C-alpha cells in the first residue's frame, strides 16, 4: 500500500465531522476550509427560483447551515476561525463522528442523474434497502408524496435528511436496530433543533 493510500485509509477510518455554519455561509466556509488544506464536502442540489422577470437555476446546500469536514483534529483551529463557521457538532465537548457510509450514500445520490432535495428528518416509516439500479444497496426510509415514492437518506447526527425519487418495485423492507441520536453542540449554547 502506498503512502497516499495509507493516508486515505486513515482519513476514511477517522470519519467525517459536521461543521455548523452561519445562515447562507456554507459555500464561503467550505471554500475557506478547503483553502486551508482540509477535505470538505458541501452537498449541493439544483433548484429553480422565480423572480419577477425571470427564472434562475441556483445551487443550494442539501443540509442548510452544515458542511462536512475530514482531516486531523490538530489542524482544526483555522477551521473554527474561518469566516462563516459557528462550531463543530459534537457530544460532551468532543467532535462527533459521522459514519462514512452516511456521507457515501449522499455522494452516491448526487453522482447520479436522480433529483435530490432536502427533506425533513423522519423518525418513523418503513426502513428499506434498494435492490437494483444506481442506488443499489442504499438504505433509507420510504415515503410517498404526490403519487411518487421517495427514499429518505438521513445524517442522523444533524437530524437532516435528503429525499430522492425511487421506483417502489426496486426496494425491500429491512429491520434496523439503530437508536435515535440527539445532537449536542460545542458549546451547548445553540438549541438542538437548529
| Residues 186 and 88 sit within 8 Å (Cβ to Cβ) | yes
Q: Is the pTM of this model over 0.85?
A: no
Average pLDDT over residues 93-121: 87
Look at residue 2 in the predicted model and tell me its pLDDT: 45
C-alpha cell belonging to residue 6: 495509507
Cα–Cα nearest to 119, from 95, 149, 88, 87: 149
Look at residue 183 in the predicted model and tell me its pLDDT: 45
**Residue 8 is inside which H or E element, if any?**
helix 3-14
Are β-strands 55-61 and 16-21 bridged in parallel, bridged antiparallel, or unpaired? unpaired
Mean pLDDT of the chain: 81
What single string gives the DSSP state of each residue in 58-81?
EEEESSTTEEEEES-GGG-HHHHH
| Residues 144 and 156 sit within 8 Å (Cβ to Cβ) | no
Rounded distance between C-alpha atoms, residue 138 and residue 118, angstroms: 17
* Cβ within 8 Å of residue 172, ≥6 positions away: 128, 129, 131
Average pLDDT over residues 167-178: 75
Residue-wise burial string across 8-44, b where 16 or more C-beta atoms lie within 10 A, e elsewhere: eeebeeebbbbbbbeeebbbebbebbbebebebebbb
| Residues 165 and 150 sit within 8 Å (Cβ to Cβ) | yes
Domains of the chain (ranges; CATH) run: 3-185 (3.30.70.940)
Q: Place 6 in a pLDDT band, splitting at 50, 70 and 90.
A: very low
| Residues 46 and 128 sit within 8 Å (Cβ to Cβ) | no
| Residues 110 and 116 sit within 8 Å (Cβ to Cβ) | yes
| Residues 167 and 133 sit within 8 Å (Cβ to Cβ) | yes
Amino acid at each position: 500500500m502506498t503512502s497516499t493510500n495509507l493516508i486515505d485509509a486513515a482519513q476514511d477510518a477517522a470519519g467525517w465531522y459536521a461543521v455548523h455554519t452561519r445562515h447562507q455561509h456554507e459555500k464561503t466556509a467550505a471554500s475557506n476550509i478547503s483553502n486551508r488544506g482540509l477535505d470538505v464536502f458541501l452537498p449541493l442540489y439544483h433548484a429553480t427560483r422565480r423572480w419577477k422577470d425571470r427564472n434562475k437555476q441556483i445551487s443550494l446546500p442539501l443540509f442548510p447551515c452544515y458542511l462536512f469536514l475530514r482531516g486531523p483534529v490538530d489542524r482544526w483551529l483555522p477551521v473554527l476561525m474561518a469566516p462563516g463557521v459557528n462550531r463543530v457538532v459534537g457530544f460532551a465537548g468532543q467532535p462527533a463522528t459521522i459514519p462514512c457510509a452516511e456521507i457515501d450514500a449522499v455522494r452516491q445520490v448526487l453522482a447520479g442523474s436522480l433529483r435530490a432535495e432536502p427533506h425533513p428528518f423522519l423518525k418513523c416509516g418503513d426502513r428499506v434497502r434498494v435492490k437494483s439500479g444506481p442506488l443499489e444497496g442504499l438504505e433509507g426510509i420510504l415515503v410517498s408524496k404526490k403519487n411518487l415514492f421517495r427514499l429518505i437518506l438521513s445524517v442522523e447526527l444533524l437530524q437532516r435528511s435528503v429525499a430522492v425519487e425511487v421506483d417502489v418495485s426496486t426496494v425491500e423492507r429491512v429491520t434496523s436496530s439503530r437508536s435515535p441520536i440527539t445532537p449536542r453542540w460545542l458549546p451547548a449554547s445553540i438549541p438542538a433543533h437548529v
